Amino acid sequence: MNSEPLRFPNQHWVRGAYYAGLLAIYESTLDRAYLDDCMEWGKNVSWQIKEQGGGPYESGAYPLVCGQIWYGCYLAKKDERMMQPTLAFLEDPKVENPVSAPGKWYLENTGHRFVDGLFTAPPLLAMLYQMTGDEKYVNWMDACFWDVHNEIFDRDAGLFYRDARSKSRKTKNGKKVLWSRGNGWAFGGLTRILKVLPSEHPSYQKYKSLYVQMAESLAKRQQADGFWRSNLDDPEQYPMKESSG
């Protein structure tokens, strides 16, 4: 197993994404070794989500990815104590009123909206709705997801930019810069939302429609060798095979 993500501090979002992968392997294989790793991590940090930091990738939507792992452990063990710190974290006024924009808790303290955040935060909120039945978590999820979507989604391409700064950039071939891995984050986030949000919920169809739109756009950009390239709009920019997107 690649140890690179483990060089990041506990509860860093990169480490959280790594453990999200381990948990997904457990759910697919039922190999307890993967669940045990996630459980050990949760116990070591007392099931806490890291307090909002002031630097990049330490605020806004990023820290919430860890809660997705706690939720998977909770489903396996049915121990609500695993989720109490996450629920408490989201009630903290500092989360609801961040430095960047009061009321927009999902923005980084720098004020940025990043496509990565569509994987880290909205799925957890869908999970909390599944757990509690409290509609406020869907409201928070919708506010986060569709605000980011409105800011950085290219409707012609049916895909996301990394952030607003990427919207004006062009390659030497005059193509858009549509980051493959970033669209992987968004598509993965949609997959996780649709997995737990009830199909009869009023918000469900909008997420499903976007999922279908992205799936069609991604299929068109798949190369003959089965891979994508790091820039989905211009495969010639970096012709190396891309497996992280």
Give the Å distances, CA to CA, from 228 to 114, 163, 211.
21, 20, 18
Going by the DSSP 8-state scheme, the letter that residue 45 receives in this structure is T
**Mean pLDDT score of the chain, rounded to an integer?**
91
Quote the tokens at residue 9. Answer: 């501090």
What average pLDDT score do residues 212-230 get? 96
E strands, 40-181, in order? 153-154, 159-160
Give the Å distances, CA to CA, from 134 to 122, 128, 192.
15, 8, 18
Res 100 pLDDT > 70: no
Cβ(183)–Cβ(160) below 8 Å: yes
DSSP-based helix, strand, coil % in the chain, nearest 5: 55, 5, 40
Place 55 in a pLDDT band, splitting at 50, 70 and 90: low
Q: Quick one: pLDDT at residue 205?
A: 99
For residue 64, how far is the Cα from the chain centroid?
Answer: 9
Q: pLDDT: is 6 or 200 the higher one? A: 200
Cβ(136)–Cβ(145) below 8 Å: no
173-208 burial: b if 16+ Cβ within 10 Å, else e: eebbbbbbebbbbbbbbbebbbebbeeeeebbeebe
Q: What is the pLDDT of residues 21-39, one digit of tens each?
A: 999 999 999 999 999 999 9
**Could you give the CA distance from residue 187 to residue 113 in angstroms, rounded to a whole number?**
16
Give the Å distances, CA to CA, from 119 to 125, 128, 190, 241.
11, 15, 8, 23
Q: What is the pLDDT of residues 132-157, one digit of tens each?
A: 999 999 999 999 999 999 999 999 99
Res 48 pLDDT > 80: yes
With left for phi above 0 and alpha for psi between -120 and 50, is residue 47 left, alpha or beta? left
For residue 68, how far is the Cα from the chain centroid?
Answer: 10
